[in-house]
Structures are given as C-alpha cells and as structure tokens.
Chain A
C-alpha cells in the first residue's frame, strides 16, 4: 500500500541524489548512461560550465579566468516526468508531478541504482540526499491577501510596520540526530501557474554527509528512514486547511 494520502499531492519534484568521493572518468559516464538508455527513451548530453577565477593579491589586472566544463547525461521518459542524470560525481534521480507515491519512486531508484553498480562497480559515496519540493496552490477568493499561518507553520515573522509581506523566503537547517542527517527546510512564496491562485513552497532537503552508508542495505534503509521523516516534517509544516486543498482520500 502506498503512503500517498492525497488525491492531488502538491509534490512538484522528488529527488534522490548520491554523491561520490571521486568523479567518474568520461568513459565511465558514457558507459553508465548507455546502460540506462534501455530504461529511458529520451537522452540528452548535458554540460555544466563553471569558471575558476584567479585573482593574485594586489595584481587584479593579472586576473585569469579558466572555464571548467563538466559533461553528463540526462535521461528521461517520454512524458519527461521520470529523470535520471549521470554526472561524474553525482547520480541524480528525479520524479516530477504527478508523483506516483514512494513505493513506485523508490522501486525505480533501486532498479536504476542496481544497473549503475552493475555497470561501474563500487564507488565511495560521500552524501545521500532526498529532496521534496511541494507547491501549495491557494485559491484567492475575495481579497489579494492570504494569512500564511492559515496554511503553513513555517513563515517569516516581521514586526507590524513591515506587514503585509509581498514575497518571502525562509530557510532553516535542523539536525535529525536519529538518522544522522541534516534537514534544510525552505518555505517561500511563489507565483502559481493557476489563475486566481497564490502559491507557497515547502521544500525539504534531507541529507546525510557524515558516514553515509556504502552498501545497498544501508542505503535503502536510510532512504526509507528519510521518507518517514520527510512525511512527518511536511505534515508538521502544513495546517488542516492546507490538507483540504490536496483532497485527502479519507475526506
């Protein structure tokens, strides 16, 4: 049974990411991407470009800039909702809406991760992260002002002269000691893609960087622990009025 309690879950994107201690060689990136092509019909090479600036002290005129390119592959399904990205130092696994529930999402991750390992063998993992971005579309009935606390339990608190707020973003980092992870929780206002609606964002990133598990059993156990936590955190961040917007199955 899936844990999805809502008919219209607000999840716009779910991500699992593994980071590695050492980047893959170019040939290894190609090899694992080729293997994943059997699971994802669409494929695009992707490129990241950074710039390394060297500014010698007192000699700003001698500044040099060196571009740093990173090459990877983005693989996706025909409807573009299921995505896997292979970078030299990361394996990114993403699900856009409609969110099919953890069971389906997790099963796909296990499938792809198994294929990744069969192709490349063991690599040291330095970080395991799970990120869920939720966009809450709030209908604006009569007044263009909404009270954030009607919908969320995380929002900025400002002194009266600064009220009302036009837009906001708040970020908090919190330890989750039971799973040795750090939660980065973002809440912000955002434009809604729906007419006559405002939107509020609840964005959770739960990551374990200290001694992340290296074997499948440990990785999968951690991911399932994170899943439980992210559900608890999300429910703690929203109000009953917000839950109604998602059309709970039990309503």
Chain B
C-alpha cells in the first residue's frame, strides 16, 4: 500500500535551481519545470522548455504578461470551456491595450492571475465576469445584477478581496466586504447568496431583496 499525503502547495527548491540554471526560463508550468529538471539529471530529454528574452520595456512586459497568462491558462485548459477561454483571452488582450494606460499602470500580475484561475475553476460561474486591472496589475472581476454588484480582486499568493453591494428595495445599498484566501472564497460569499451574480437563474429569477 503506497499512500501520498497532500500538503499545502510549496515552492520546490528544484524549481528555483532550474530557474537559476536556465537562462532558458521556461514559459511552461511549474510542474513541467520540476519534471524537466528531474529528468535532465538522468539524461537529455526531448525538451519542454522555451526561453524568453528580458523585458525592460512596457511593451515587452505586456507581451510577457499576456503570454504568461495564456500559458497559465493552458495548464488548466482541459477544465475550461473553449468559449470561456476565448472570451477570457479577448478580455485580457483588451485590458492590455496600453494606449489607454496611465503612467504607472502595471500589466497583469501572474500570481494574481493564478489566484483568479483557481477561483473561477472552483466557483464555475455560469455568468462570465467583466474584468479589470488594478494599477498594480491585480486582476479584478465584477458581476452586476440590476443595481447589485459583486467585485473580487485577485491578489498574489492566493489572496482575494471582495466587496458587494445589494439594494434591498431601498435606495441605499447594504455593503459587505471581506478578504480571505481563495480557498475560503466560496465560504466567505455564501451568506450573501452569490448565485445572485454567478448563475443565470439567480440573475433572471431572484428578486432583489
């Protein structure tokens, strides 16, 4: 009997060594890097790594951010609908049209995007959110149902910050906010009936309280 204990996600020293060793910084997943490093010690495999150049300019950083986000998406693409992926990429491309940016705006933070993917794959919302970027590059998703609004900012390293406003037949909304790890997001939103934003049924049939 062989059993495997699942521990919280941790950064592997192997990955770090690989990243240092490889001027060929991989555009691929952490998992791929780990495997490649292990196998390289045995023999030279058919490689999975592809290199990248340094990115000193905004244009290059935007390119890297978009490319990185798409590669990260590919790592979970088997769990995503094609239509969702296509729309997500259109949204990300649109967010990175830098002619509308202000000085100091940052492209998408990769760690924030990883948090977003985890949340989306957990929530599996029927209704797709509008997306935005914070000035520091965190991804922000917003769902609106009538006047009610739910906004989630996806922070690096699995953090989420959310705020919602609901109008209960009044002119003044009730506002709630929270900050949790992404693994507790569903639990944190549960008292506020998030299906009101996430599901088509919630949007179409549930009256605003």
Alpha-carbon distance between A77 and B63 when the two chains are bound, in angstroms: 13
Alpha-carbon distance between A48 and B51 when the two chains are bound, in angstroms: 7
Question: At the interface, yes or no: A165 with Cβ under 8 Å from chain B?
Answer: yes
Which residues from B are CB-within-8-Å of A195?
A: 118, 121-122, 182-183
Residues B79 and A205 in contact, CB atoms below 8 Å apart:
no
Alpha-carbon distance between A74 and B43 when the two chains are bound, in angstroms: 23
B134 to chain A, nearest CB (A): 22
Question: At the interface, yes or no: A79 with Cβ under 8 Å from chain B?
Answer: yes
A29 to chain B, nearest CB (A): 13
Alpha-carbon distance between A199 and B32 when the two chains are bound, in angstroms: 12
Given A13-B32, A94-B48, A45 and B53 touching (CB < 8 A)?
Answer: yes
Question: At the interface, yes or no: B191 with Cβ under 8 Å from chain A?
Answer: no
Question: At the interface, yes or no: A92 with Cβ under 8 Å from chain B?
Answer: yes
Residues B114 and A145 in contact, CB atoms below 8 Å apart:
no
**Among the listed B6, B30, B35, which residue makes an inter-chain contact with A140, where contact means beta carbons less than 8 Å apart?**
B6
Alpha-carbon distance between A80 and B66 when the two chains are bound, in angstroms: 9
Please report which residues of chain B, range 47-69, place their CB below 8 angstroms from some CB of chain A when the two chains form the complex. Answer: 47-48, 50-53, 63, 67
**Among the listed B10, B34, B45, which residue makes an inter-chain contact with A184, where contact means beta carbons less than 8 Å apart?**
B45
Question: At the interface, yes or no: A212 with Cβ under 8 Å from chain B?
Answer: no
- Taken residue by residue from 45 to 58, chain A's Cβ proximity to chain B (1 for < 8 Å, 0 otherwise) reads as 11111000000000
Question: At the interface, yes or no: B1 with Cβ under 8 Å from chain A?
Answer: yes
Question: At the interface, yes or no: B177 with Cβ under 8 Å from chain A?
Answer: no
Question: At the interface, yes or no: A146 with Cβ under 8 Å from chain B?
Answer: yes
B127 to chain A, nearest CB (A): 20
Residues B35 and A46 in contact, CB atoms below 8 Å apart:
no
Q: Is the interface of A mostly helix, strand, loop or mixed?
A: strand
Residues A156 and B2 in contact, CB atoms below 8 Å apart:
yes
Which residues from A are CB-within-8-Å of B7?
A: 144, 166-167
Question: At the interface, yes or no: A232 with Cβ under 8 Å from chain B?
Answer: no
**Among the listed B1, B35, B47, B63, which residue makes an inter-chain contact with A201, where contact means beta carbons less than 8 Å apart?**
B35
Q: Which residue of B lies closest to A50 (CB)?
A: B23
Residues A47 and B53 in contact, CB atoms below 8 Å apart:
yes
Question: At the interface, yes or no: B75 with Cβ under 8 Å from chain A?
Answer: yes
Which residues from B are CB-within-8-Å of A45?
A: 53
Question: At the interface, yes or no: B24 with Cβ under 8 Å from chain A?
Answer: yes
Residues B2 and A207 in contact, CB atoms below 8 Å apart:
no
Residues B77 and A81 in contact, CB atoms below 8 Å apart:
yes
**Among the listed A74, A78, A188, A189, which residue makes an inter-chain contact with B52, where contact means beta carbons less than 8 Å apart?**
A74
Question: At the interface, yes or no: A194 with Cβ under 8 Å from chain B?
Answer: yes
**Interface of A toward B, CB cutoff 8 Å:** 8-13, 15-17, 42, 44-49, 72, 74, 76, 78-81, 83, 85, 90, 92, 94, 96-99, 129-131, 133, 135, 137, 140, 144-149, 155-158, 163-169, 171, 173, 184, 186, 188-191, 193-196, 198-199, 201, 203, 205, 207
**Interface of B toward A, CB cutoff 8 Å:** 1-7, 9-10, 23-24, 27-32, 34-35, 38-39, 42-43, 45-48, 50-53, 63, 67, 70-72, 74-79, 82, 85, 89, 114, 117-118, 121-122, 182-183
